[in-house]
Structure 1
């Protein structure tokens, strides 16, 4: 059971950029990062991921203090803090815009369990003391790829001095071999950006235009690597701010897993498993012909190297632990049995299709349906799920795999060991919904029952604002309110890509959305403590 799972030319630089480059160390800092939330950074998800591979999640199940290095705009950081109010969250980023945004959200929602600091990782490493060991969990999402070698050394020092024995570290990063063919594309865009004046998002757009022109002109690199042209097509509609951070940083490390393992090994950290839960299951992440080879490999580092080669992996979400022990089967059963789970979306919208490296997997409705039906009634412990008639035949191992895949697919959320106070998260959700009403682009809400966050559309957030403003909980009342708020923001419905200008048709769409919201989404949000 335990194994289930820069500038216009090289000499002259605009004054503003020259000053900025002194502290950015080549990191894109003239435009903000995307407002994202990543469930793999959630303590309850990390604890379940470790437990599912037979490792003791220990301190991560109810961490007292969490450090996030490189918080970006800080939306995910603040959502995690609001949804886990008994945990102290420490956030560090060297971009003052990022810290100011996160602090603004936290202060507006009166989130008391956060400390935010504008500083470099090197600053933090210098100030850390030997044996400080005040952290149960350290989180780094994506940042490892984009910072300097000196920053990597600082990260290791922070982990060595501050992560408690029994603590976990989550780190995600671009990796080999999946990015190998993309290296020339990134360098092309980076070099082209040096020739383009203006902000990084403008430089990104110019770089993509150049790439498209080169493809049409028959450049041999693109002809020899047709997957790159396909990648560029996928990039074209994406947010330019995000792409600037992804492709224009001067530091751009594409790691082999063995190098990352060696890096954190200097801090006495060992590999635990992937936070992308399906990637711990060989049947779902390896070609059939390679499974016996990987199963037989005893070296955990080389085993992961084989996995990466097998899947042509380009992004890893790793968990490393400091003195984290393996569980016995009995210990794993006991910890799993007490773990609670909840639906992340309305039961009627659930599908049992799970994305994996090897393609999409479709689960058997006869097994997954009863689990979803039970969770639609409210959160349930794992031992309740195992006892369902549909799962008795397969036993605990089949139940673990089914629940793990539902968590992997985002349909189900593992819950914290103790139910959090929902008030801070609900205050934050009011702030977020209010900002959307003012034209800001947010798409996540805090879900304190799960100690996590969930995605929400602009329409859902406007409907939530209407409820916060005292609108009656009826389709007609909410539709009237929604139409007015959309008009104020100059937002139109679309039909076949064209704006809906007919008021009757627009109101009909609004009423349908309001009805669906009241019937499906609002009950779920109440279950998750969102409202």
Structure 2
């Protein structure tokens, strides 16, 4: 593994062209605004291995000593959370933005994580072998594959060919066609207009938002003809965090991709498509839609047909390198090891989306402890179901965010690294702008993380600090933050109001509701220090 926490090579960051005061690299990639802090639970090594192995592929397992590479790691939150939740693995995050690398390095140092490192380097440097890296069991890219130009994507393919082990797993999240067919012209318009302006990215972004709003209200035919399809994209452009919007809308290399193009490209690196992180789509098919797949044996073509049926805008593809097929016995052995852990409180679940005949008995069992799929199959309500049906039901719950994969052998892992990082993340989250970051708490039970918002962070810090009773000091801090943030919040009785209007009594109710709903989950996941 790299011996340094932060490696800088002379050609790590491509030379830049200064367009209107904003730094855009010669690859067309924006660098003068940082990408927001996000945790992506879909990139969990356990989730990726479980998806592949349950689908019958002999993919790597997250066994002690496994290696994990995140390409385009941003400020490093996902790499850090996964490293803390998997202390037996070794993690490397790369990015060519030096501010991202500095932030990620500071995070892992503050938490004392010794199994993670960050490297400042571009894809070209890795592809050309200028940075010494080992072979990896897992490689993950979130978003960046469709944000860089064709040359950079070729570098990514070279990296995968050179550094993914046989049986290794690759996760690629990207903007997809045909879901972006209507919005792609909007992205191009935003790019062209913003590049014609003077000033830095934040100034140009603000001016472009105002201009696009005027354009929409000028009753342009393109907008009126596609209003329903464009509305979600216009809302995200106007309201989402600046760092995300800049990367999504004003990268010149940006391109929405068809699944077939991605699958054929990575096939050159010996990678075979194993499945999608979200398995919910087939469950929503009508009988007429299911018939459309009859006679289509090409897996890539089946995925594209599904994308047209679903108007897919973002794909989360998982690939395995040079895999062999697992025997029925081997698949059964994996079901003896892997299963589900409940990661949400029962009252928050929408029971109408799945069979309550199966769900309620399973929740009763999972509230007691995590269970392997073999153990779940022995719950009386599941009697008579095939193991494939049991697994499919569990994958549905995970896709809904109610459960997370659980590996029995990982339960002996130390929780200390997770507790140290969780303190660091909670301290950051309590002061973060609500829409600028998606924080998480690391859990050694699920080898991943669970979401954490800025109010929950206050509760976490109080419970693990000197105010377990959520006293006056904590209430005043939360009330001050709510008044600073002009957002909508839910108070008792499911009423919604502006946070600037929340009273002290309502702030107390909010804190107690979080304590009552999240603390049992946190204890189940061992994210609270000392428990």
Shorter-normalised TM range: 0.7 to 0.9
SS at match of 1:320: strand
How is 1:198-217 mapped onto 2 (pairs within 5 angstroms)?
Answer: 198-217=199-218
Residue 137 of structure 1: how far off its partner (Å): 0.8
**Corresponding residue for residue 13 of structure 2:** none
Per-residue CA shift, 1:234-291, capped at 9, x if unaligned? 3232222211111110101211111111211111111111122224xx343x443232
SS at match of 2:300: helix
Residue 206 of structure 1: how far off its partner (Å): 2.7
Q: Do the aligned partners of residues 15 and 403 (structure 1) sit closer, same or farther apart at CA in structure 2, a change above 3 Å counting?
A: closer
Bigger mean CA offset, 192-201 vs 181-190: 192-201
Bigger mean CA offset, 512-521 vs 98-107: 512-521
SS at match of 2:37: coil
**Corresponding residue for residue 423 of structure 1:** 416
- Contact 1:462–1:482 (CA<8 Å) still a contact in 2? yes
Q: 1:376 aligns with which of 359, 362, 367?
A: 367
Residue 305 of structure 1: how far off its partner (Å): 2.0
Where does structure 1 lack aligned partners over 5 or more consecutive residues?
Answer: 1-11, 354-361
SS at match of 2:182: helix
SS at match of 2:140: strand
Q: Do the aligned partners of residues 479 and 400 (structure 1) sit closer, same or farther apart at CA in structure 2, a change above 3 Å counting?
A: same
- Contact 1:63–1:136 (CA<8 Å) still a contact in 2? no
Q: Does 1:451 align with 2:447?
A: yes
Q: Does 1:482 align with 2:484?
A: no
Q: Do the aligned partners of residues 62 and 274 (structure 1) sit closer, same or farther apart at CA in structure 2, a change above 3 Å counting?
A: farther
Q: Do the aligned partners of residues 192 and 16 (structure 1) sit closer, same or farther apart at CA in structure 2, a change above 3 Å counting?
A: closer
**Corresponding residue for residue 243 of structure 1:** 245
Structure 1 length as normaliser, TM-score? 0.87
SS at match of 1:450: coil
Q: Do the aligned partners of residues 447 and 293 (structure 1) sit closer, same or farther apart at CA in structure 2, a change above 3 Å counting?
A: same
Residue 501 of structure 1: how far off its partner (Å): 6.4
- Contact 1:449–1:528 (CA<8 Å) still a contact in 2? yes
Distance 1:368 1:318 in 2: 28
- Contact 1:479–1:514 (CA<8 Å) still a contact in 2? no
Q: Do the aligned partners of residues 250 and 429 (structure 1) sit closer, same or farther apart at CA in structure 2, a change above 3 Å counting?
A: same
Where does structure 2 lack aligned partners over 5 or more consecutive residues?
Answer: 1-16
Distance 1:392 1:204 in 2: 57
Distance 2:498 2:21 in 1: 41
Distance 2:274 2:463 in 1: 44
- Contact 1:129–1:161 (CA<8 Å) still a contact in 2? no
Q: Does 1:346 align with 2:348?
A: no
Q: Does 1:387 align with 2:388?
A: no
**Corresponding residue for residue 184 of structure 1:** 185
Structure 2 length as normaliser, TM-score? 0.87
Distance 1:323 1:134 in 2: 14
Residue 233 of structure 1: how far off its partner (Å): 4.7
Q: Do the aligned partners of residues 66 and 480 (structure 1) sit closer, same or farther apart at CA in structure 2, a change above 3 Å counting?
A: same
Per-residue CA shift, 1:68-98, capped at 9, x if unaligned? 1000221111111111111100111001111
- Contact 1:47–1:61 (CA<8 Å) still a contact in 2? no
Residue 394 of structure 1: how far off its partner (Å): 2.8
Superposed CA RMSD in Å reads 2.5
Residue 411 of structure 1: how far off its partner (Å): 0.4
- Contact 1:215–1:229 (CA<8 Å) still a contact in 2? no
| Equivalent residue pairs, number | 498
Residue 349 of structure 1: how far off its partner (Å): 2.4
Bigger mean CA offset, 226-235 vs 157-166: 226-235
Residue 227 of structure 1: how far off its partner (Å): 2.7
**Corresponding residue for residue 75 of structure 1:** 77
How is 1:86-235 mapped onto 2 (pairs within 5 angstroms)?
Answer: 86-127=88-129, 134-235=135-236
Distance 2:195 2:321 in 1: 42
Q: 1:411 aligns with which of 388, 402, 408?
A: 402
Distance 2:389 2:269 in 1: 36
**Corresponding residue for residue 300 of structure 1:** 299
**Corresponding residue for residue 497 of structure 1:** 497
Distance 1:528 1:342 in 2: 8
Residue 197 of structure 1: how far off its partner (Å): 2.7
Residue 438 of structure 1: how far off its partner (Å): 4.8
Per-residue CA shift, 1:296-321, capped at 9, x if unaligned? 32212222222222222221111111
- Contact 1:208–1:232 (CA<8 Å) still a contact in 2? no
